[in-house]
Structure 1
């Protein structure tokens, strides 16, 4: 399995003080070091566009800890809501500081925001072509846990020193276990042998505080961690898929593009209450302005 993080150096649904952003990144890096994991972080340089010094410092921390830095566009732009040239330009804009940090090492990987990878076969093909010309490879996701839904309520409760923050993170960890169970069962139905997964997480307070629990659970399930480069060598990651108008992980894409062996209606989703709490927390954290 490979561990990946979107929205390095910070998931930006609400504003956090610079020190909090530093602390979140430091905690994540220390936990990854504890498990000897070399992760890949997909960078949104635009999330700290008003503090370029902090941006470069945090990206340098990830690089110096041995983690790879991929591209996640500059402005977290949806490919399905813009034209190709504008999108490719945003990718190039999002590589400037990262490339300065990487030095002679070139960016190799790209993950599309919202997992929007082309809503028609032509759009899909043109994006792949544009990425290839830039020396980038689109990186799939096979496991994700909707962490952003649980992060805002957790952060809001911490900010107001509410004991119920413990409830938020416990719900998150329980949901993660349910998702992992489902993905493992889906993979067993789809493939004759185990495949190396790619887990997508986000850089946020919730994961900074509880990544250790997730990694411990994964180890208990028998997973071993390896670089993204090694995982992508598996033949499954060369399989084409249909184009989808919505963002979705690649287990779904592969299954729907071929044999349709999995009942995806049973994939665990956050409850309506969890989504409502997420929206309310964003209102609180952004001082009433969403």
Structure 2
């Protein structure tokens, strides 16, 4: 049933987008050069709570099938603690990472424990990075590679220039480059809502609610893409090669091919993270923001330039009905 739904959704999305961009060749010149790297956090899976190994395997396989259908490069970021249970590394979870590597996708470090730099401090954070590569580094060594990308959990990158410089020096010494995010979103809220409905006891209207979530999710995500396109043009006078944040969850396992089709219809070429990072905009690093949150790199740079509240206006929000299903009060 899920495969049939994906086919119908993808066909409908492409038909609708064709009304806006009749053919890729007819895309405006500024769109034809668009590039986007897709990154997926919290591997091997966002949450194992309530899942037995058979259920986890089935959901993982669905995500792998979605990646195969989209046929684009992806960089995944691993939480080392999620490879373990009760202090023991689980071979079946390591095999989930092997599935990513067998498809040619790249894997990066997302710390052991998905820790918050602003909460634990630099010393503990550095240790969490090292612990996060205990299984990842030898796994990549089997392919002749090593971890080279690091993604901050919660996108919290340091509350001072000194902290960011100290972390950068540590990452440099261990062969890492920071993987920024320019297109941020609340896919985790949508996915939490989807998971709660999916795993609840069957009741009247359940399938309709799941379908409503699936059908509203892709337009929300593409509206976020459009918003950050505007942010890039207004801040830098051009559109940079974007880096899009997603997570390894049940909803993206259903929607990923349609998400890719949506950005491709907007004139994007989906590229490897390495290619996106060649854009000179990223030489700025994570400068500009010393607060407690973790904003998009575009917003970090805008804050550093002193942009006023009006610059940030218009960002699409998660609808109240989705927040309610997720049990979340606000984004």
Alignment TM-score, normalising by the size of structure 1: 0.90
Give the alignment partner of residue 203 of structure 1, picking from 239, 248, 251: 248
1:239-258 correspondence to structure 2 within 5 Å: 239-240=284-285, 241-242=287-288, 243-258=290-305
- Whether contact under 8 Å (2:109, 2:132) holds in the other structure is yes
Once the two structures are superposed, residues 83-125 of structure 1 have per-residue CA deviations (whole angstroms, 9 ceiling, x without a partner) of 2111111111111111122113110000010001001222111
Higher mean alpha-carbon deviation, 270-279 vs 45-54, is at: 270-279
1:223 and 1:259, CA in 2 relative to 1: closer, same or farther beyond 3 A?
Answer: farther
Return the index of the structure with the highest Cα Rg: 2
1:49 equivalent in structure 2: 84
**How many Å separate the matches in 1 of 2:323 and 2:224?**
17
Give the alignment partner of residue 183 of structure 1, picking from 215, 228, 235: 228
Q: CA deviation at 1:156?
A: 2.2
2:106 equivalent in structure 1: 68
SS in 1 for 2:327: helix
Runs of 4+ more than 4 Å apart = none
SS in 1 for 2:76: strand
**How many Å separate the matches in 2 of 1:8 and 1:219?**
25
**How many Å separate the matches in 2 of 1:14 and 1:269?**
27
**How many Å separate the matches in 2 of 1:209 and 1:194?**
29
1:199 and 1:235, CA in 2 relative to 1: closer, same or farther beyond 3 A?
Answer: same
- Whether contact under 8 Å (2:194, 2:251) holds in the other structure is yes
2:71 equivalent in structure 1: 36
Q: CA deviation at 1:220?
A: 0.5
SS in 2 for 1:195: coil
1:221-260 correspondence to structure 2 within 5 Å: 221-240=266-285, 241-242=287-288, 243-258=290-305, 260=307
Higher mean alpha-carbon deviation, 245-254 vs 48-57, is at: 48-57
Give the alignment partner of residue 10 of structure 1, picking from 29, 45, 54: 45
1:59 equivalent in structure 2: 97
Give the alignment partner of residue 140 of structure 2, picking from 93, 99, 102: 102
Alignment TM-score, normalising by the size of structure 2: 0.80
Higher mean alpha-carbon deviation, 39-48 vs 150-159, is at: 150-159
Residues paired across the two proteins, number: 280
Higher mean alpha-carbon deviation, 193-202 vs 21-30, is at: 21-30
Structure 2: gaps (5+ residues): 1-35
Structure 1: gaps (5+ residues): 281-290
**How many Å separate the matches in 1 of 2:81 and 2:50?**
13
- Whether contact under 8 Å (2:227, 2:315) holds in the other structure is yes
- Whether contact under 8 Å (1:108, 1:136) holds in the other structure is yes
Corresponding position: 1:136 with 2:184: no
- Whether contact under 8 Å (1:24, 1:203) holds in the other structure is no
2:8 equivalent in structure 1: none
- Whether contact under 8 Å (1:149, 1:275) holds in the other structure is yes
- Whether contact under 8 Å (2:196, 2:326) holds in the other structure is no
Q: Calculate the aligned-residue CA RMSD, in Å.
A: 1.8
Corresponding position: 1:274 with 2:325: no
**How many Å separate the matches in 1 of 2:170 and 2:50?**
33
1:218 equivalent in structure 2: 263
